[in-house]
Structure 1
Amino acid sequence: MQQLFLLLLAAVCYCCPTQSFAQKNLQPASSSTVAGIPLPANTKADKRLLIRVAAKTTMDLEAADSNWMLSDNYEVFQLPVGSNNDISDSIITALEDNGWQLLINEHNNKWGLASKGSRRLMIYFETAKKESWLYIAEIAQGQAPKQAATPTPATPQPATPLPVQPANPVQPVQPATPAHSGTYQFHTTNFDDGWTATVQADWVEVSKGPIKVLLHYSNTAIDMSSMQTPTINANAWNTLVAPRYKDKQHFYAFNGNMSYWRSSGISATLTDANGVQHFVVLFRRGSGPFIEFITPDAATFEKEFGVSFVSANDQNLINSYDDSWLRMDNMQSRNKFAVAPADLIGDWSESSGSYAQMYNVYTGNYAGMNAVSNSAEFWIAADGSYKSQHSGASGMVGSQTFFTQKYNGRYTMNGNWEVSFTNRFNGKTDTYWCQFEVVRGGRILHLQDKTASGMQYHLTKK
């Protein structure tokens, strides 16, 4: 049976209304005007103003993460009571029969992108205990989706955030022939523990002596639709690793340890185009990025990263604790590049959101949705001035509290890893650690307050 998650690439973080609103604005709907597809029997179009406004606001915030702008052409449907995967499958089939191409979301099996000609739709299914919904919104014409390396899920995950301040001091350098990412000044970073990071077309290469680590950017060619670790890893291996090598030996697929943030991967001894053998490991922790380790042999890998990644050690890997994998997983923090004053100039923004479905613990009845959403935008000018706006909403949908805070002042770069903004809250000057993370097609600007480390911004350029 075709699964719901075949829809997906990016969409919304909005859930559904309570039953306290007037039912007269729930109208029978036999088809979607936006998508031009038939809908299951007993589907209702939700015309309630507050619900539609809340849905559109949250969809706009989520769309901004991918640098999309939604048009005002959107629909909210309540699916028949008791809807299950068969209903979802019928909608997917209807989209495909109508000529829509469904793209995969690597990170969330509820959200997706439908494309036909020059049109693109954001598609979102939400299934609760007693109700299910379908949201459809059209992306404004002339916008291509931005592929992000690590898109933020709608519901925050309990992973340790990437530190902005380096554990080891680093020195930015400019190599003679780096693979540039945009018009940024720094494309290489030398860490004081001997590692060097360099921007490449499809990954950031981190090297030390005979060891190379490739921090792969996200790649839509990797089929994530199965949602099964062994299948996804095999697809990633065939896409990212196998085409560059030959003569595979000692192949070992490790399907993961017993952990919520499952560490898994594939290893093999491979021969490159120059006839040189390498021990190669493709590693992934949870839903994080794929990291490729290239060492002369398995012993060198184990000495450097503390893991014997071979089939003979399979049982120990299955029973391993999360801290066994940190030396490998922490390599992604080497995707770290300095910031030049000219790099800051422009319009930078971020948005995020989370929600919780509420049910009565005694009756099981649906009790509404509690949602939080936030956005921030910085306009940084070449003359040393800046403006910023910070907005958000929180509370039960239909009675949320909204806020907007605006600042303007001057900014100063203190070297290449620190920036200060004047006239912030209560007129204070705030100083942030700053760094770039390279993703496919651009960079993310990370800012972390030096005195309040929990105050962080992760901004993309418009």
Structure 2
Amino acid sequence: MKRLAGFLAAAWLLGCGLGVALADSFDIFEYTPPQGWKKSNLQGGVMLALQTKESFGSIVLYASVPAGNNPQQNFQGEWKRLVVEGLGLSGEPTTEMGPPNGDYQNLAGGIAASQDGLNYVVLLSTFTGNGRVASILYITTDERHFDLFDRFNSSLKLNKPKAAQAPPVNVARPPTHTTANQRTIATPTTRFNDGWVSTIENGFVRVAKGEVVVLLHYGMPLPENMWVTGNEQERVGYYWNRLVAPRYRVDELKVFKNDVCYYCLYFGEGSATEVSTGTRKHVALYIGFDKGLGYAIQVVAPSFAAFQKEFPNIEAVGRMYGYNKFAVKATDLVGTWKESSSVAGQYYNSITGAYAGMNAVSSAHSFTFNRDGTYTSTHAGASGFVGSQQFYSQKYQGRMTLNNWQMSLTNRHNNRTEVFEAYFEMTGAGPVLHLIQVDARGIHYRLVRE
């Protein structure tokens, strides 16, 4: 068995709260950044990183998300979300319970892995409390960083989450951003082969087929007390009162009741009368939660039979978020789009337990698209064992062409032309550009405008 205890030990001081001066904050975290480490804002997190010719280290703090009160279940859920799905890893992590930090209970674990010839380990540390779970990833290629991690951990403090501000009851949809990015999408409508038609509107994506209409609402906060209770009736009722009740008077709201669950279903439905017209409808509401927000899917059908024909089960309603997908036009792309990520791994001899070195990989990708159809992309990072790391920095320049849902980029690696599946996902803050390489689908860029 590979031993992770040496690496895990560096994280158990999380939340000790030694009373040192706190220099920065993010979400529910207060912390002192290590001197000389570069801070980068990620989508839903903050990364602190130091990269030299000899070593690499990073600390990634993620925004807290709604959760129950079981630290083990929360760790498993965050491991699945951040490591299995986020990093594409598999396997059961070695875990250990750490000391509490105020209202929060610490649980951490790690796993050694090998991928594309790179050996590395991922350590995830989670904190459960106040109806939420907060997570941190620790990465290093140098054992000397452990003392630095200890000092960082000593400055860490976890606060109670701020209460969410609920919109007025008579508002039919959540407040949204009206950024220039959102207004300048050239193709705000998508016609899918199965008959559904998606259209970007203010506050949601409208998806329709015949007389059945689905509204994919952007993220909307839930009051803090409801994160703690986790009551299906209260959560569904909260969103129903703000998104549905202003337009429909329901006969009886029937809310789905979960058994013991981690990924619970939040779903309500009922026969209703449209207030403005007096027309009878069947209305349903599904809510998925991610990064502290609730994403509501509202279905309006002429009858229960029409609803059931399109949605034979609750999960079918949840899958409708896959219709938040829009074609990319050249005018949408002008400017710079970026993403960044990092991961590292440490190995111990499986027989002796002796330290056997550590690998790490970090990357940053940037695409700049110009009005004349040319593009520039830069890809930088580092990988390999400490002491012999390979650093790379690649830059490509060429032409970009769009054809339906595909983007072609010339003059890539070895002067090849690479083809990507390209589409926009719309969010309340604007579009996310997805580029998936057709002949190597593991290469998936998720880019946001700079």
Q: Which band: TM-score by shorter chain? A: 0.5 to 0.7
Superposed counterparts of 1:167-186, under 5 Å: 181-186=182-187
Structure 1 residue 293: deviation in Å? Answer: 1.4
Give the conservation status (yes or no) of the 8 Å contact 1:375–1:390: yes
- In structure 2, relative to structure 1, the CA distance for the partners of 1:236 and 1:377 (3 Å cut) is farther
* AA matched with 1:339: V
Match of residue 213 from structure 2? 212
Aligned length: 327
- In structure 2, relative to structure 1, the CA distance for the partners of 1:28 and 1:248 (3 Å cut) is closer
* AA matched with 1:65: Q
Structure 1 residue 186: deviation in Å? Answer: 0.8
User: Which of 277, 281, 284 in structure 1 is aligned with 2:284?
Assistant: 281
Structure 1 residue 357: deviation in Å? Answer: 10
Match of residue 410 from structure 2? 422
* AA matched with 1:279: H
Flag structure 1 segments of 5+ consecutive residues without an equivalent.
1-15, 37-44, 90-104, 113-127, 138-178, 310-324
Structure 1 residue 182: deviation in Å? Answer: 2.1
User: Which of 308, 311, 321 in structure 2 is aligned with 1:305?
Assistant: 311
* AA matched with 2:202: A
Structure 1 residue 415: deviation in Å? Answer: 2.6
Larger strand fraction of residues: 2
How high is the sequence identity, in percent, across the aligned residues? 28
Give the conservation status (yes or no) of the 8 Å contact 2:335–2:449: yes
* AA matched with 1:249: D
The CA distance in 1 between the partners of 2:243 and 2:287, in whole Å, is 14
Flag structure 2 segments of 5+ consecutive residues without an equivalent.
1-5, 26-30, 51-58, 60-96, 106-128, 137-148, 159-179
SS at match of 2:227: coil
Structure 1 residue 361: deviation in Å? Answer: 10
* AA matched with 2:239: W
2:406 aligned with 1:405: no
- In structure 2, relative to structure 1, the CA distance for the partners of 1:17 and 1:198 (3 Å cut) is same
SS at match of 1:194: coil
Match of residue 166 from structure 2? none
Deviation digits for residues 190-249 of structure 1 (CA, Å, limit 9, x no counterpart): 223221111011110000111011111112356573383627733652464244334322
Across the aligned residues of Structure 1 and Structure 2, the Cα RMSD in angstroms comes to 4.9
Give the conservation status (yes or no) of the 8 Å contact 1:229–1:255: no
SS at match of 2:194: coil
2:340 aligned with 1:351: yes
SS at match of 1:32: coil
User: Which of 427, 430, 438 in structure 2 is aligned with 1:442?
Assistant: 430
Give the conservation status (yes or no) of the 8 Å contact 1:263–1:286: no
SS at match of 1:186: coil
Match of residue 296 from structure 1? 302
SS at match of 2:376: strand
- In structure 2, relative to structure 1, the CA distance for the partners of 1:329 and 1:359 (3 Å cut) is farther
Give the conservation status (yes or no) of the 8 Å contact 2:383–2:391: no
- In structure 2, relative to structure 1, the CA distance for the partners of 1:422 and 1:291 (3 Å cut) is same
Match of residue 373 from structure 2? 384
Q: Which has the higher contact order (CA 8 A, sep 6+)?
A: 2
* AA matched with 1:277: R
Give the conservation status (yes or no) of the 8 Å contact 1:180–1:199: no
SS at match of 2:393: strand
The CA distance in 2 between the partners of 1:339 and 1:205, in whole Å, is 18
- In structure 2, relative to structure 1, the CA distance for the partners of 1:357 and 1:214 (3 Å cut) is farther
TM-score normalised according to structure 1 size: 0.57
User: Which of 42, 49, 65 in structure 2 is aligned with 1:64?
Assistant: 42
The CA distance in 2 between the partners of 1:133 and 1:433, in whole Å, is 45
- In structure 2, relative to structure 1, the CA distance for the partners of 1:369 and 1:236 (3 Å cut) is farther
- In structure 2, relative to structure 1, the CA distance for the partners of 1:418 and 1:196 (3 Å cut) is same
The CA distance in 2 between the partners of 1:454 and 1:107, in whole Å, is 35
Give the conservation status (yes or no) of the 8 Å contact 2:328–2:424: yes
SS at match of 2:208: strand
* AA matched with 2:283: V
Give the conservation status (yes or no) of the 8 Å contact 1:391–1:402: no
Structure 1 residue 460: deviation in Å? Answer: 0.7
